[in-house]
Structure 1
Amino acid sequence: MQEILFLKPVFQEKIWGGTALRDKFNYDLQSNQTGECWAISAHPNGDCEIINGELKGKRLSEVWQDNRDLFNHDDSPVFPLLTKILDANKDLSVQVHPDDEYGMKHENELGKTECWYIIDCKEDAEMVFGHNAHTKEELEHMIKNGEWNSFLRRIEIKPGDFFYVPTGTIHALCEGTLVLETQQSSDTTYRVYDYDRRDPDGNTRELHIRQAMDVTTVPHRETLPTKTVKRYEDSEIITYVNSDYFTVEKWNIKDKLRLDFDQSYMLVSVLNGKGYLNEEKIEKGNHFIITAQTQELILNGDLELMVSYIEKN
């Protein structure tokens, strides 16, 4: 069976999307409001197609169900991870995600812990991260009275920043931000505030105030990732987070790096550069899964890779 599964991304238009996915990654996109690239996904709302090898033409969800040997016989009922690139050309809604228990009970899908690597952003860019309510009663009062300036916490961001966003965290990407997102495989989002904006038909988007108040962590809990770096001659692997949900790393490859492959499977996105992985050509904008059939990784070239996986038990 295959060592590497290359995937065809699924693109989603959004009211806040732009052209960065076309401009910076050279994806063939006609829309000027492409907000999301579902780069590695088996979720029903964006199920990626395999584009190489003997499994070419199959959807990732199908491969997951029928070929568990490629994933070290992971027994998760659904493919557990999802990689996206988000083009926040305009502000995203202020939102929050449920945990697994709430998500399964109310939405019949996983909760959504996620994290962001800031690929690029405009000067003086910021994001919403957390809130200032100290009790559930204060949370309800500030939301229902629209006290957004005092309720929302805003922080400045810059390219290369990384943020871990557990379930229950009020958050929003803001205008002028390009992000690689690693998350649980879920599409459940509870909107708290959407700036009262309207779609081309004059309609406002649905809010989910009751659900948001149910799942928001109060008071806000700071979750700063602990960054560690391993160096291999001129290359390095930066680990940003190692949680129960996923480990996320950035691999900066210079010239050549050889590693034993000791995980069940890995999700990889090429952010910059070009080169080879085990003699397979890879370049900026590629997304692929390294399967359990792999024993060794040989990387050649000048590459920036975002890598995610779930630690073996």
Structure 2
Amino acid sequence: MKQPIFFRPVFQERIWGGTKLRDVYGYDIPSERTGECWAISAHPNGQSVVRSGEWAGMLLGQLWQEHRELFGYYDSDRFPLLTKIIDANDDLSVQVHPDDEYASNYEKGEWGKTECWYVIDCEEGAEIVFGHRAKTKEELADMMKREQWDQLLQRVQVKAGDFFYVPSGTVHALCSGLLILETQQNSDTTYRVYDYGRRDRDGKPRELHVEKALDVITVPHVQQSIEPTVVKMAGATVTTWVRSDYFTVSKWEVHPRLEMERIQPFLLLSVMAGTGAIATEEGEWPLQKGDHLLLPYQFGPFRITGHVQLIASQP
């Protein structure tokens, strides 16, 4: 029987983290500075564990290696995506990610990182750093050396429900007061550009990666425009924000029923709000806020019922 695969997330403590992952989603977080929930992850730095069912207790990476039929024999040597929820209780470092070619050459075969953000919730006046104003690499290097951050960095005010596509090479940062769902390539490669002079637990300045950052930052900044596709049905609305070489990401708003066809190659779902159920002719499984699951190859046709909001992604 084809069935959804639910996961137990992994939590990462961060200097800028807080308690919203517990307060909003009820997760058992490790500390008051928990910054990230790696909800669906096969990365060696934090792997999700199958929560129940036939493969209970198995790491997602192991499932990927041993049961490729569940993923439609998708052509990749590693699981392609990583889903996170990020609690930015304080400003994250200003940073940039390399593309696949640079990461492969300089990060021991790691992938690059293109990502996207869905703003789950935010404080009034919350903002992000998104891009820069330098016109040439020389101007960029000079402004960074002179620490002219206010003149260099572009800031954008955000609100709940906003979506941002963040290609590799984009200077960016989440600022304080944001709760974000991030869909990204399966990579943990980050080059810090600026970190507000913060120190780590040992009292040492946090490491910056200025030379590598200068190598990979896109100059001039390329503004990303999001043109969502909205499909309204009798009991649901599906908004597709991005279809890229790396992932397709959509929001499913179910009130009270959504019918979907069979899944190819596989689909990741994160329940952002509400309660409901997912069902096929073979069974029904409850859904609640904070659940993260994978629908395997050829799952369905299926239906989702209830009053529930989900983020869906697939390679």
TM-score, normalisation: structure 2: 0.97
Distance 1:297 1:141 in 2: 55
1:49 aligns with 2:49: yes
Instruction: State the secondary structure of the residue aligned to 1:55.
Output: coil
Deviation (angstroms), 1:217: 0.1
Choose from 278, 287, 292 the match for 2:292.
287
C-alpha distance after superposition, 1:144-196 (max 9, x if no partner): 11110101000100000000000000000000000000000000000000000
Deviation (angstroms), 1:30: 4.4
1:20 aligns with 2:32: no
1:173 aligns with 2:174: yes
Deviation (angstroms), 1:28: 1.5
- Aligned position for 1:119: 120
1:309 aligns with 2:309: no
Distance 1:39 1:68 in 2: 20
Deviation (angstroms), 1:51: 1.1
**More moved, 298-307 vs 255-264:** 255-264
Kept in 2, the 8 Å contact 1:3–1:292? The answer is: no
Deviation (angstroms), 1:262: 3.9
Structure 2 residue ranges without an equivalent (≥5): none
Deviation (angstroms), 1:2: 4.3
Instruction: State the secondary structure of the residue aligned to 1:277.
Output: strand
Instruction: State the secondary structure of the residue aligned to 2:125.
Output: coil
Deviation (angstroms), 1:224: 1.4
Distance 1:158 1:300 in 2: 27
Instruction: State the secondary structure of the residue aligned to 2:90.
Output: coil
- Aligned position for 2:5: 5
- Aligned position for 2:92: 92
- Aligned position for 1:221: 222
- Aligned position for 1:37: 37
Distance 2:298 2:229 in 1: 28
**More moved, 21-30 vs 147-156:** 21-30
Letter in 2 for 1:16: W
Length, aligned pairs only: 310
**More moved, 277-286 vs 197-206:** 197-206
Letter in 2 for 1:287: H
Letter in 1 for 2:33: Q
Among the aligned pairs, what percent are the same residue?
54
What RMSD in Å do the two structures reach over aligned CA positions? 0.9
- Aligned position for 2:305: 300
- Aligned position for 2:193: 192
Kept in 1, the 8 Å contact 2:11–2:30? The answer is: no
- Aligned position for 2:148: 147
Distance 2:291 2:7 in 1: 8
